[in-house]
Amino acid sequence: MIRSFGWESVEFLIRGAGWTLLLSLMTFVVGGFFALIFALLRTLGPKPVRLAIAGFIQLVQATPLLIVVFLAFYGLSFMGLHFPPMVAAGVSLAVYTTAFLADIWRGCIEAIPKQQWEAADALALTRIQQLRYVILPQAFKISLGPTVGFMVQIVKNTSVVALIGFVELTRAGQLLNNMTFQPFHVFLTVAAIYFAICYPLSFLSERLKGNRHVRPAH
């Protein structure tokens, strides 16, 4: 049935955008959780663990996201269970996000001067206390800009799971295009919705990066 592109269509796309947001949020929470552990182990863990994590990060960063998504999609279903695309989408995006965020956050931890560790050590803080009270609060401040910047990448990356049939914003656009045959209107609207989500994040990211130098460094 051919429909024309109207307000109904925009509503349909906005519902798709809801899934994009939900998937992005899930990806950020799960990916961020593992990324934090990986970033800490990558800088402070025993050598074999550090090497293993570095290897994982290198391999994932050298694989296209679409291939990670396919591997999760087919890999999971070959383990004997049939997962809905939602699971494959979540797992692959989380793995991909972990690899990138872990690298970003490692950089932030390593940006803290060695003297800060030494000073904390001289104050008789334990290793955990040094991290908790001295290193991580400073690293957190540095990481804000790049982290929000990476959220933009996460939102955009979720579009790839449209290709395994998960109905988020891009897939909703494809479906709508099949119903209306008005690809120009449909994909322009889809792009506009992505822009409306991503641009504020980009703007915030730039602001957070810029302010870093304004704040007194101590």
Partner 1 sequence: MAYQMNFAPVMALAPQLVEGALNTLILSGQAIVAGLAIGIVGAVSRTEGPRWLDRAVGVYVELFRNTPLLVQLFLIFFGLPYIGIRLSANMAAIIAIALNLGAYSTEILRAGLQAIPRTQVEAGLALGLSRLQVVRYVVIIPALRIIYPALTGQLTLTLLGSSIASAISATELTAAGARIESTTFRSLETFLCIAVIYITMTFAFRFVYWLVGLWLFRRKAPPKPSLIADVTEVSRAGA
Site residues (vs partner 1, CB under 8 A): 59, 61-68, 70-71, 74-75, 78-80, 152, 156-157, 159-160, 162-163, 170, 173-174, 177, 182-184, 186-188, 190-191, 194-195, 198-199, 202
Which residue number, 86 or 152, has a Cβ lying nearer to partner 1?
152
Q: Which ranges constitute the DSSP H helices of 45-182?
A: 47-61, 65-78, 85-110, 114-122, 127-129, 136-157, 169-180
Q: How far is the CB of 39 from partner 1 (least distance, A)?
A: 18
Residue 7 structure tokens = 């307000």
Which residue number, 135 or 152, has a Cβ lying nearer to partner 1?
152
Distance CA(102)–CA(56), nearest Å, equals 11
Residue 178 has a CB neighbour count (10 Å cut-off) of 11
Name residue 177's amino acid: N
Q: How far is the CB of 62 from partner 1 (least distance, A)?
A: 4
Distance CA(182)–CA(186), nearest Å, equals 6
Q: How far is the CB of 125 from partner 1 (least distance, A)?
A: 30
Q: How far is the CB of 121 from partner 1 (least distance, A)?
A: 24
Which residue number, 140 or 199, has a Cβ lying nearer to partner 1?
199
Q: How far is the CB of 139 from partner 1 (least distance, A)?
A: 20
Which residue number, 130 or 177, has a Cβ lying nearer to partner 1?
177
209: closest CA among 158, 152, 143?
143
- C-alpha distances out from residue 174 to 67, 154, 188, Å: 20, 20, 12
Which residue number, 57 or 134, has a Cβ lying nearer to partner 1?
57
Torsion angles phi and psi, residue 2, rounded to 5:
-90, 120
